[in-house]
Each structure stands twice: as structure tokens, then as C-alpha cells.
Amino acid sequence: MGDIWDILPGLGDKLAAHVVLSASAIGLAIIIALPLAVWASRSATVSRIALALASLVQTIPALALLALFFPLLLSLRAVFGEGLPTLGFLPALLALTLYALLPILRNAVTAQANLDPGVLEAADGVGMTKWQKLRLVEAPLSAPFVMAGIRTASVWTIGAATLATTIGQPSLGDPIFAGLQTQNWALVLAGCLASAGLALAADNLLWVIEVGLARRRRWMSLGGVAIVALGILAALWAGRAEEGERPIVIASKQFSEQYILAKLIGARLQAAGYRVEYRDGLGSAVVHSAVANSSIDISVDYTGTIWTNYLKRDDNPGREAMYETIRAWEARENGVKVLGRLGFENAYAFAMRADRAKELGVTSLADLAAVAPRLTVGGDPEFFERPEWIAVKAAYGLDFASKRNFAPTFMYNALQSGEADVISAYTSDGRIAADRLVVLEDPKGALPSYDAMIMLSPRIAGDAGVIAALKPLVGAISVEAMREANLAVDREDAQKMTPKQAAQMLAAKAGL
Amino acid sequence: MTSPRPLLRFEGAARVYGNVQAVAGVTCDIAGGSFVALVGASGSGKSTLLKMVNTLVEPTAGRVLFGGEDVTALPPARLRRRVGYVFQGIGLFPHMSVAENIAIGPRLAGEKLPPSRIAELLELVELDPAMASRMPDELSGGQRQRVGVARALAGEPELLLMDEPFGALDPLTRDALGEKVRELHERLGLTTVMVTHDMAEALLLADRVLVMDAGAIVADESPRALLAGEGGDIAQGLVAVPRQQAERLAAMESPR
């Protein structure tokens, strides 16, 4: 865990992005909440509706709220045109702003409601206009309470901003999500420490402003404001490097193989003189659309995923036909160039512990059907909704005693501990070899293929330099080499590697 | 004593809240320079009538004329500078010093009161001018209400409205401040309308007493006439309380 101190200094740009995102969200929330609170203090109906809506937003998990803005913004493109960003800063800002509204709004409304009626009568009695009353009496008397609300909102927002990673906005969530997927706990801790530290710092600074307001110590409030402003300016300064030519943005979904391949692709582009940027830990559903609209330039996707999720097909024409159909479809519908297949599949397969398979006499899915009513099957959270499962179930008449969902990382542990007898494994997973699992045969060919493909966004689809740099990867990666690299990242012992190291090993194995 | 044109005139002034008639068409003139007490039980409409003058309450029917002009037609800020307002809640602004509180009315009109004027106003209500820099929460209740009176006088008003101004004060402070207000009334040539539920206070301070009941004025007499038994049952009922108290006290004092 000593690595944390090596990791933290490298998080500067993530911290800057995190600060800019959080500060913008809180700022926007203040701009919306304060006038709304004033309006609410003049109308009980507005007060009820505003507070009810803000509370309702709070009941939506932050992760879901962030994810919901992707389809929402996508549909708004009909109004605002194709230039409307659907990933990254904008949706993260909007979701976090909604999230920050409630504490600010509630405190401001409560503060207004609790103002001494005698003081308000005096304000009218000395002849203040509504605006003078607000500016000279209501605002200064409510300020400490409003500030307390802003403090709460800030701590929430800084915490929730780590989730912006999943919609392609860099933040301190990047190391957390990358660390969780690759079981690199030092990385997770470093991200958590940095975001907790930031939240504490913000909380304390805002507390100084709040106390300054409550005790009418102007220098305290102004000093606090000045330090907050300096911090935000510093973050803006650090994040300003985005000028000039946009770097090539490489996406990875939330599992080790994706992190490794992103680094492999990135290293080759850097060697060819390109500037690259990584968007790690994206939600799977987000990646495909992001490449199609060029907010991300390169991803590695799988034939089976595209086939069912985007072509909406549930037939199985065979491996080659499927690939060619997808290639033509992507070019025609999205302008996305499928550069080629890497050479391995990350297909769904059913795996069992060798001893258990032997004991039950199971070598194929057909054998499994006979004993399934006595067994528990484990799958990743989406598996039991996928057409593969439905197809396999129908083809072999599988009927299990029970079904359980596990995060991919923990599925193998469940198999080892006996919580599941058979799991939906991935064929490129390093743990199949490491745990000496038996992959069950599929004599009826019910499981579709999942060839890994390099996808290029319309923006770089015609870039000869990029194509030349990445072409050697096509057909170069065997499933054994990929399993080995995945295992190197997933393992917990001294031989554990970072995705970058594993990518170097993979490149060497592939003779690149 | 009545001037040819009254400073304040109520013309059928009425106020309805929902289906409660708080003030039921009051018509009455108040001459410049007079000290008028509005007396009545809780809910008799006296505060509502008073607040119609500085438009904190607007009449639902009829009108109130101040110097011949309908008060609702005057810009509220300008009207309230000419009409000082003191009320039971005092309502000093807790985030402003005594000096800032006193200077607020002129400040709203874009005028900055010099420290000498603030000192003068504090002396007028018998407070140490050094108190100017204090915050309201450092003052006693009586001191606060004195600041409230100073604030009401800062704009050099023609008319002073007082709504139970001494209701929350202890009897000694209350008596002293009552005397002081009466003295200021004379010295500054004010016209004063004071709402109170305390008939003794009204009889001692005012030169004209209006008794209200159920939103209407039921008696309009001088203190002397009220003590002489004029004004009807309701007024006499109110006068009886302090009179009997005084008689009982006198009886206890007199030697057997």
C-alpha cells in the first residue's frame, strides 16, 4: 500500500478536472437555488413544488442520474443539433447540479421562513421596497444558513463527482474505477483519499465563510471566498492544456482487458507521435454511441455485443458472416470504421470447477442440462437478460435450481467458494487458466461469437497515420496471450501488473 | 385645537380578512398636533386601522387621506419616511449597529445621517451617544425600544404611529418611556396616534381617546370626558379597570 504515495502526485490533472466540475455544479446550483428560494419564500405553492422536486432528485441514485443524462441529451440533439455533447462535462455538470440543489434550496427556504417577523415588519415600516428588504435584511440574515447548505452540497457534490468517470468525464473517480476493476487497491485508496481530502478542504473553507457571515467578520468571509476562488482558478489553469488539436481519445469499459487494450493502443499511437487521452471505466452502453459521435475516437468492442445491442439481431449466422455484417453496418449507419479483429474472442461461456465437473460428469452444455435442476448458476448483472442466455436455455433446455448475480470480479470467487456451481465466464478471462476451470462445450453452437474489434470514430476513420499504427494489432493477439495479460492484472500476488505493464507484456508476446 | 384641514382623515376605511370584518368603515378626522390613543380589546381592529395609515395594510373599501392625499397613491417609501412607526416587536435589524438602525430610513432615501445627528437622536431618547456602535443584542429591552423610537424620528416625520409600543416592557421602563414620548410629541410638534389596550396609559398620555369595538369606533372623547362618565358602556367598562385599581390602592393607603 506504500504505492499510494507514488500514485497521489500523478493525480493532479484528475484533481483539477474534479475541482472544475464540482465547482461549476455547485456554482450553477447556487445560481438556480437562490432565486428559487426567494420565489418560494413569497409563494407556498412554489416552495412545496420546488422542495418536492429537489427531494425527488435525491432519491435517484447518483450513478443512475448521471447515466440518465446520456439518453436525455441524445434526444435533445433533435432540438439543439448534433453539436450537443452527450458525454463528459455537460451531462456530469447537469446531473451534479440537480444533486446539489436540495441542500442549498432547503436551507435557504428554511432560513427565510425563520426570519423574525418583527424584523420584517420593521423593514416594511421604515419603507423598504421588496428588493431593498431582500438585499438589506433577508439576504444578510439568511446568509449563514444558506452557506451551511452550500457546504453540505459541496461535500455531496465532490463525493458524487467521482461517478462522473462512468460517463466519460475525467475526475478522481478514474483511479477509483480503474483500481476496482483491476483489483489495484492502492489506486482505489489514492482516489478516495484525494477526493475525501478535497471534500474536507472545501468543507473547512466554506465553514470559515459561514462563521464569518454569522459573526459578521467580513475579513473571514472574504478571505475564505478568496482562497476558494484561488483554488478554482488554479484548477482551471491546470486544466487549460486542452487547447489546440484534440488528442485521440481512447475508451475502456469497466474490465481489465479493456484497460490493457486501451493502453496497448495508446502506446502504439504515442510511439507514432500522436497525443492520446484515456477515458477509462465507461459504462458499456455509453461507449458505442460515444464512438459513433466522435466524442471518443477508439474503442475495442465485441461482435456479439454489437450484434444483439445495436443491430438488434438474435440469430446466429456464424462468426465470419456476423463480423462482415457488423463491419458494413457500422460504416453505413455510423461512419465508424471497424479496423479489424484483434484475433481473440471474449465470448460468453459456461465454466465449472474441474473437480465439480468431473464429479457430475459434465463436459458440455448438453450434459449440464441433465443435472442443472440441482445446481446454482452465477452470472454478471446483465447476463440473465441477454439473448445468449435465452438462446442457450432454449437450445439445451437448461433449468437451474437458482440464479445469482455477481460482479464479474467476484464471480470466480463465488465458483471457488461453492456459492455457484457454474458461471457465465468470459473466454479470454485469465482466471479460467489460473483457477483450472473447465469451459463447457457448445455442440449446438448456441453461443454467438464475441470477436474483439478495433473501432475508429468517424473523426479519425480516414486518418492514415492512425490506421498504419494500429493495423499490426489486427490478428496479432491470441486468446492465450490475452488470458495471460488479464490474469497479470487481476491477480493479487506479487506478480500483479498495472494495465500498462500488462500491455507491454502483451505487445512483446505478439511480437510487436 | 382643530386645524381647518385635518392631517389625517379616514373616509369609510374598511378591511376584510376572508369573511372577518377587521375594520368596518371608519370615518374620522385627526388634527395636526394631536396625541390620539386608539383603545380597545384584542381583535377590535385598532392595529389594523393604524396600519392602514402607513399602508402596511391596505383598505378593502374606503380610503385614508394624509395631508389630503390618498395614502395608497403615495410611493410607500416616501410615505413611510414622513410617518414614523414604532411597534411592540421593536424589530431592530440584528445585523446592523444602533447607528445603522437609526440611519436606515434616510439611507433608503439616499441620505447619509452624520454621526452628530445620530448622537442627537440618541440623546433625544435619553441614550448615551456612545451606544451608537453597539449591536442590538447588547441592549436591554427598554434601550432597544428607545432606539426604535429614535429610528422612527430619524426622518423628521410629521406623524408618529405607535402600535402597543411599550407592551413588552417592564412597568418602570414603560412609564418612563411613555412620559418621554409625550414630551417629544410636544417638543417636536408631532402628531401621534398610539394603539394600546391599556386605558390608563391612554388616559395619561393622550388628549383624545378613540375606543374601538368590533371594527368600529364606539367612543371619541377627551380623557377628562371619559373620566366624567361619557362615551358609553364599552368605553366606561375599559375606564372602570384602572379607576377601580386606583380606588383600591387609595383605600389601602388611607388611614383607618
Nearest to B108 among A122, A127, A140 (CB): A127
Instruction: Tell me which amino acid residue A210 is.
Output: E
Categorize the per-residue pLDDT at A2 as very low, low, confident or very high, splitting at 50, 70 and 90.
low
Report how far residue A157's alpha carbon sits from residue A26's, in angstroms, rounded to the nearest whole number: 7
pLDDT at B77: 78
Q: What's the Cα-to-Cα distance from A196 to each of A8, A11, A72, rounded to whole Å?
A: 13, 14, 30
pLDDT at B2: 46
For residues A25 and A31, the answer to whether their CB atoms sit within 8 Å is no
How close B24 gets to chain A, by Cα (Å)?
24
Q: What's the Cα-to-Cα distance from A47 to each of A54, A140, A153, rounded to whole Å?
A: 11, 21, 19
H or E segment and range at residue A30: helix A12-42
H or E segment and range at residue B195: strand B191-196
Residue B47 structural domain: 8-253
The segment with the largest mean pLDDT, out of A38-42, A246-250, A257-261, is A257-261
Note whether A125 contacts B92, CB cutoff 8 Å.
no
Q: Residue A89 above 60 pLDDT?
A: yes
Report how far residue A213's alpha carbon sits from residue A115's, in angstroms, rounded to the nearest whole number: 16
Q: State the CATH number of the domain containing residue B60.
A: 3.40.50.300
Tally of helices (H runs) and strands (E runs) in chain A: 23, 10
- For residue A29, the SS3 value is helix
Nearest chain A alpha carbon to B76: A127
CATH of domain A4-242: 1.10.3720.10
Per-residue pLDDT tens over the stretch A135-167: 999 999 999 999 999 999 999 999 999 999 888
For residues A166 and A283, the answer to whether their CB atoms sit within 8 Å is yes
Per-residue pLDDT tens over the stretch A453-484: 999 999 999 999 999 999 999 999 998 899 99
pLDDT at B255: 67
pLDDT at A323: 94
Do the domain assignments include residue B247?
yes
CA dihedral A27, A31, A37, A39 (to 10 degrees): -170
pLDDT at B1: 43
Give one DSSP letter per residue of A478-512, joined into a string: -HHHHHHHHHHHH--STT---HHHHHHHHHHHTT-
Nearest to A141 among B89, B95, B104 (CB): B95
Number of A:B CB contacts under 8 A?
61
Note whether B108 contacts A117, CB cutoff 8 Å.
no
pLDDT at B52: 94
Report how far residue B141's alpha carbon sits from residue B133's, in angstroms, rounded to the nearest whole number: 17
**Does this chain's domain A248-346+450-509 share its CATH topology with A348-439?**
yes
Class of CATH domain A348-439: alpha beta
Q: What is the pTM of this model?
A: 0.73
Q: What's the Cα-to-Cα distance from A77 to each of A245, A285, A297, rounded to whole Å?
A: 25, 18, 20
Residues 140-199 of B with CB under 8 A from A: 151
Domain count within chain B: 1
pLDDT at A138: 93
Do the domain assignments include residue B130?
yes
Per-residue pLDDT tens over the stretch A404-459: 888 777 888 888 888 899 998 888 888 888 888 988 988 888 888 899 999 999 99
Per-domain residue ranges of chain A: 4-242, 248-346+450-509, 348-439
Q: Residue A390 above 90 pLDDT?
A: no
Nearest to A124 among B56, B95, B151 (CB): B56
Q: Which of chain A's residues have a Cβ under 8 Å away from the Cβ of B79?
A: 127
Categorize the per-residue pLDDT at A5 as very low, low, confident or very high, splitting at 50, 70 and 90.
confident
Fold of A248-346+450-509: D-Maltodextrin-Binding Protein; domain 2 (3.40.190)
* Per-10-residue mean pLDDT, chain B, length 256: 73 90 92 94 91 92 92 86 88 93 90 92 92 93 92 92 88 89 93 93 94 93 92 92 91 78
